Structure 1
């Protein structure tokens, strides 16, 4: 213990307290370029350009000075390994996905890898061992191995171990208001749900059960809100919700419970993905009911499974390869110090044989008493 420490019982905390009061991280917390970017009101890429003395002609003098001032105020010490990566030395990016149980994420990878290859980059695909999070650093040091990270359908906090490497991060299918990412690329999920509910309500369905994916992620929260909002105020609408894991078996059990529970039977099952919908179709048949005459079933994603079942699923097509392409383009722009220009990609309703008017609609050949 030094004489200065002895003079103040419990140690001198003025430095840490002063940093907290000034809005700076405490001395025990490593300041990252993301912290500097927030303090200066600029992108992380702009910080890299300014501190790497490559800003002229790409960042305004005023913003450059704001970055330098923020770095001085925060006591920023550059991560030399990460800085070398900003120059494109490894030309490798990491694509983190929740799982490889469907071809959707494989198609995202295909699109990302194609565009990356056109720019001389490679893409390493990493399914998080914990699902949607947390995603552990798969390397001894991500900062020494990668130029940046793309994460699909995961919460930003799930990526904390990777974000500690101070690498550029682009999120796919994630909350656009989360400023912990350098850019966010999304699919118009809410529009897809509105198209599905509009299709079902247009056919005359009013008793609809939402078989909702039992996964804590932004994309499924959006779907739940969009279903409720779309049916709100519709005369006679009766919306119920049953959670289900993203598996055929879980979809089967959730649909069976929905179809055999108390009260009037739903005439339509709106499922959060095609896999849950496949289980729902099995449940309908096992109860001796017909699709779509007795019960309509919809999916989401347009996986290969959607046309393998009979009748084929009405679903929403998500452009997975284009999604991956947009993600890598956004990351490459971040690495180059340019605005990410992250788009929201449109989705498409595909009407197939699994939907029809409800049993009590004129012209529907449902079994007598099928309600």
Structure 2
């Protein structure tokens, strides 16, 4: 009867590389720099590869007192953007032997129970969007190593923050519309209390306030197409000169602005230019295609997970916001002649 194959152990790797088991542990645990030489580390990696060695994560986790599980707290699971954030975070987590559990904020798609009963006992850390920050207290996630996404670096709950350069995205949109000749604006703002949306409003006001002859109206709407339709229709029919450009806090609001324009007999972009922010699939599905700011959601999740790994290893996460880019499509044009 054939003997079952024996899984190689760290002792086997140590013997093959001619080093101690302690050295193998340091190298395969990524903590060898300054403690063993580069040549030794390479011998260990080569021996592990040749033998097909895989570390026993379950045993390692018991020794470290870790579960190698991270919680990603998002406003809703049905949002395309946060699906991208999850994809990026999960990919990096898997590369480092971690798993990611999603937790929707009660303010998202509905009430969600604490997925663990005791988050502190079952998690190594948390990544949370500032839009879902209220959920942290409910699950005691704010008492764990925490990285905040889209959060004010000066007043964040987290040990680190990771941000997209939303302020620059607003600047790019504003410069584009000003360059086309627009001076009367409607800001269709998300009716959500969040730093990331405050940045949009402040950036727009600051840039347009520096240009003589500009006028800005602001209408708040829930983050739904129907809510944006109602808010935009009301704002576009208010007394006074009608805005010639609508700056929307996200692409769903822009879709609502499209519907409002059509109900009022306005053509996009001939009578009304519209911009979004996100570059969701929706931006290319509507007609004309939407001028919007592309946010790399997967890179956002990637950077968030790398920042949390740095916090867990007592390293300083990389600094600097993630660049964003204006994508000009058919929804913007010079304002109509007076």
TM-score (norm 1): 0.71
Structure 1 CA distance for aligned equivalents of residues 63 and 283 of structure 2: 42
Partner of 2:80: 103
Partner of 1:300: 277
Structure 2 CA distance for aligned equivalents of residues 109 and 182 of structure 1: 20
Task: Kindly indicate whether the alpha-carbon contact (under 8 Å) linking 1:132 and 1:154 is maintained by their aligned counterparts in 2.
Answer: no
Structure 2 CA distance for aligned equivalents of residues 175 and 301 of structure 1: 19
Partner of 2:227: 250
Partner of 1:219: 196
Which among 292, 295, 298 is matched to residue 321 of structure 1?
298
- 1:162-208 Cα shifts (integer Å, max 9, x gaps): 34673100000111112521100000001000100111111000000
How far does residue 145 in structure 1 lie from its aligned partner after superposition?
A: 1.1
Number of residue equivalences = 281
Query: SS of 1:149's equivalent?
Result: strand
Query: SS of 2:143's equivalent?
Result: coil
- 1:142-161 Cα shifts (integer Å, max 9, x gaps): 11211100002336555223
How far does residue 88 in structure 1 lie from its aligned partner after superposition?
A: 6.1
Query: SS of 2:206's equivalent?
Result: helix
- Identify unmatched segments of 5+ residues in structure 2: 1-30, 35-60
- Identify unmatched segments of 5+ residues in structure 1: 1-53, 58-83, 361-370
Which among 327, 334, 337 is matched to residue 357 of structure 1?
334
The 1:232/1:121 distance shift into structure 2, 3 A limit, reads same
Q: Does 1:126 align with 2:103?
A: yes
Partner of 2:257: 280
Task: Kindly indicate whether the alpha-carbon contact (under 8 Å) linking 2:289 and 2:331 is maintained by their aligned counterparts in 1.
Answer: yes
Which among 122, 129, 137 is matched to residue 152 of structure 1?
129
Two-structure CA RMSD over aligned residues (Å):
2.4
TM-score (norm 2): 0.78
Task: Kindly indicate whether the alpha-carbon contact (under 8 Å) linking 1:112 and 1:123 is maintained by their aligned counterparts in 2.
Answer: yes
Partner of 2:322: 345
Q: Does 1:234 align with 2:211?
A: yes
Task: Kindly indicate whether the alpha-carbon contact (under 8 Å) linking 2:74 and 2:132 is maintained by their aligned counterparts in 1.
Answer: no
Q: Does 1:91 align with 2:29?
A: no
The 1:297/1:219 distance shift into structure 2, 3 A limit, reads same
Structure 1 CA distance for aligned equivalents of residues 300 and 153 of structure 2: 15
Structure 2 CA distance for aligned equivalents of residues 245 and 235 of structure 1: 31
The range that moved more, 262-271 or 97-106, is 97-106
Structure 2 CA distance for aligned equivalents of residues 169 and 139 of structure 1: 17
- 1:191-238 Cα shifts (integer Å, max 9, x gaps): 000100111111000000000000001100111100100101212101
The 1:177/1:313 distance shift into structure 2, 3 A limit, reads same
How far does residue 241 in structure 1 lie from its aligned partner after superposition?
A: 0.4
Structure 2 CA distance for aligned equivalents of residues 189 and 89 of structure 1: 35
Task: Kindly indicate whether the alpha-carbon contact (under 8 Å) linking 2:119 and 2:141 is maintained by their aligned counterparts in 1.
Answer: no
The 1:130/1:189 distance shift into structure 2, 3 A limit, reads same
Task: Kindly indicate whether the alpha-carbon contact (under 8 Å) linking 1:103 and 1:303 is maintained by their aligned counterparts in 2.
Answer: yes
How far does residue 259 in structure 1 lie from its aligned partner after superposition?
A: 1.5
Structure 2 CA distance for aligned equivalents of residues 212 and 86 of structure 1: 50
Structure 2 CA distance for aligned equivalents of residues 132 and 182 of structure 1: 27
Structure 2 CA distance for aligned equivalents of residues 101 and 336 of structure 1: 32
Query: SS of 1:310's equivalent?
Result: coil
